[in-house]
Structure 1
């Protein structure tokens, strides 16, 4: 079997930072040099070609335009490489993994996103092991999706979330089992992975200018704030509403329900109802407070993460119309991002 050759995007993040008087900051050229040393001392490390973004991106500065750049880089190099690794900051890593999962249609090769909580320049760190694992997962022959490699685990990209702010195992997959783990060797649970696609690979850009936002309900929230979002001109294209529990909101708030209904029915804003619980799913038929949102025209986000929900809105609303509209496709699993049962 010929040796695998990977294409690597180094976007930025903590993993390649060094201490400066202003705090930790990415240093151009540092991570590529360190990675070359890691490759030299690691048995069976795959060959790779690396593209370092300039400027490097602190993930807090990430924008949808960067997703387009990454998707375009993968598309341009798709035929020439066996897999792809994206080295990224952790704060918005789950958004990037989710966005790319939708943008890369009929993906027939692994795309593995990784980062670190502690940079390579400090010891001990999680950076070196995460890099080694990401490169090894990206050579797997039965992996056909965007994944996150972190803390010796492999997660579906659009099911991943950064759940802990300071732990080495910062990422979890609350509503879907992990796809693989490292226990002496790389164990991939193929039964949990997406099947090999039949169609031709295609990268779909998204429209970064789409007016899409999110809003999290909380006791005593000011409905006027939400109304200003919902009733703005031009109207919102999409909104992710993080509601309570199984998709509930205060059904006694007539002003809220009227604003939601006007937004969906008159302004044609696509409002996706997700739960703000870490784990669980939206069921708007279960409680009266949930069914009120269904009558107001909200679409169930099922058990999607808020990150995947936002990125799915960006993706669907950026595509040309078809027989099924975005509101019809939202409850359908496109890339394994939601459970249909």
Structure 2
């Protein structure tokens, strides 16, 4: 595999872009214009690396669809100039952002790799350098002059995942992310081991389409034993609500008492779209497998199958502006668009 590509590094904010002042102990933003001087190992990649940063980098807790659009437009404007893109992002909401970008870019045939770190780039024990170096290497991989990767990925702690399959599982370990329902696309060891059977194949004849409309009039409703009728009624009666990602138990099970089913049924009849996803980080919703999910299926709740909550949120934001009928929305949501579900 030949590694001589032009890569654009986009810094949005997050721990990876901070460096410690060893005199004061305070963290300050890293100057990405001095990237090659600060991380000379990048020169070994033989890549041409250019950088762009948000004018005001943000903590990923403040990430929202307006910033998704900003990232997407930076990539769109530079799409023909670069072979691959690396997005530096805070880890807390990285799965949400990278999932959203996967839906926004249709017919993508270049890699967009999200990465970050648990420790600042200037910390003695940082994971930032390895994550950054390998993400750039992956974004630049070519075989026979063509990109090896052509999808939105998330790289962290020696593994590249399909971004819309990931969930952050740990706040302090370097292995912060997991993808229990889909294997890693690549693993970094002595060699870069690409799982070619699992990577998305690009259709280079189709033109890139960037979907820029997202609708965030949605909510995530996580069930728990004892959740009551009054609270759910207040939540689903919110003005402007268009969609609910319903986090149920196990394989898609929920309370099947009349008051609960009647509330969801009323919401659906009022045009609110409800998607059933499991609270488990692995496994799949199987509607009708148990009696406790049969009634959900009967009233028109949509099966999220093995999609993550993060990806379900992104997919709903992506589909709502298209003003589909509830039947068509259900059909499309239950269909894999970017490899986000089986």
Q: What range describes the TM-score normalised by the shorter chain of this pair?
A: over 0.9
Give secondary structure in 2 for the equivalent of 1:123.
Answer: coil
The 1:89–1:219 alpha-carbon spacing in structure 2 relative to 1, beyond 3 Å, is same
Q: Does 1:317 align with 2:320?
A: yes
Deviation track 1:163-205 (CA, whole Å, cap 9, x = no partner) reads 1110001011111011110121211111101111241111111
The C-alpha deviation readout for 1:64-88, integer Å capped at 9, x for no partner, is 1110111111111111110111000
Q: Does 1:177 align with 2:183?
A: yes
Structure 2 residue runs without a partner (length 5+): 142-146
CA distance in 2 between partners of 1:316 and 1:72 (Å):
19
Distance between the aligned counterparts of 1:41 and 1:10, measured in 2? 17
Alpha carbons 1:273, 1:301 under 8 Å: kept? yes
Query: What RMSD, in angstroms, separates the aligned Cα atoms of the two structures?
Result: 2.2
Q: Could you tell me which runs of 5 or more consecutive residues in structure 1 were left unpaired when the two chains were aligned.
A: none
State the alpha-carbon separation in 2 of the partners of residues 263 and 322 from structure 1: 15
Structure 1 residue 214 and structure 2 residue 250: aligned? no
Q: Where does 1:139-154 land on structure 2 (aligned, <5 Å)?
A: 139-140=140-141, 141-154=147-160
- Secondary structure (helix, strand or coil) at the match of 1:285 reads coil
User: Are the counterparts in 1 of residues 3 and 47 from structure 2 also a CA contact under 8 Å?
Assistant: no
Structure 1 partner of 2:239: 233
- In structure 1, the residue matched to 2:123 is 122
- Residue number among 232, 247, 254 corresponding to 1:249 in the alignment: 254
Counterparts of 1:68-79 in structure 2 under 5 Å?
68-79=69-80
- 1:294 to 1:321, Cα distance in 2 relative to 1, 3 A: closer
Q: 1:102 to 1:41 in 2, by over 3 A?
A: closer
| Corresponding residue for residue 291 of structure 1 | 294
1:74 counterpart SS class: helix
Q: Is 2:337 aligned against 1:334?
A: yes
* Corresponding residue of 1:89: 90
* Aligned with residue 166 of structure 2, among 160, 168, 172: 160
The answer for the alignment partner of 2:211 in structure 1 is 204
Q: How many equivalent pairs are there?
A: 334
TM-score, length of structure 2 as denominator length: 0.92
Structure 2 CA distance for partners of 1:26 and 1:244, relative to 1, 3 Å: farther
CA distances 1:185-227 after superposition (whole Å, capped 9, x unpaired):
211111101111241111111335x311101000111222221
The yes-or-no answer on 1:264 pairing with 2:271 is no
Match of 1:51? 52
Q: Is the 8 A contact 1:258 1:296 kept in 2?
A: no
The answer (yes or no) to whether the contact 1:144–1:194 under 8 Å persists in 2 is yes
- Inter-partner Cα distance in structure 2 for 1:25 and 1:325: 49
Q: Conserved in 1, the CA contact under 8 Å of 2:3 and 2:46?
A: no
SS in 1 for 2:102: helix
Structure 1 residues 124 and 61: CA distance shift in structure 2, 3 A: same
Distance 1:332 1:39, change over 3 A: farther
CA distance in 1 between counterparts of 2:235 and 2:28 reads 36
Change (3 A) 1:162 1:32: farther
Deviation of residue 19 (structure 1)? 5.2
Structure 2: distance between partners of 1:2 and 1:131: 16
**Match of 1:110?**
111
Greater than 3 Å deviation, 4+ residue runs: 18-26, 39-42, 320-324
**In the alignment, is the contact (CA less than 8 A) between 2:20 and 2:120 conserved in 1?**
no
Hey, what's the Cα distance between the residues in 2 that align with 1:23 and 1:233?
Answer: 47
> What is the TM-score normalised by the length of structure 1?
0.92
8 Å contact kept, 2:42–2:133? no
**3-state SS in 1 of match to 2:296:** helix
Q: What displacement does 1:320 show?
A: 5.3
Verify the 8 A CA contact 1:283 1:300 in the aligned structure 2.
yes
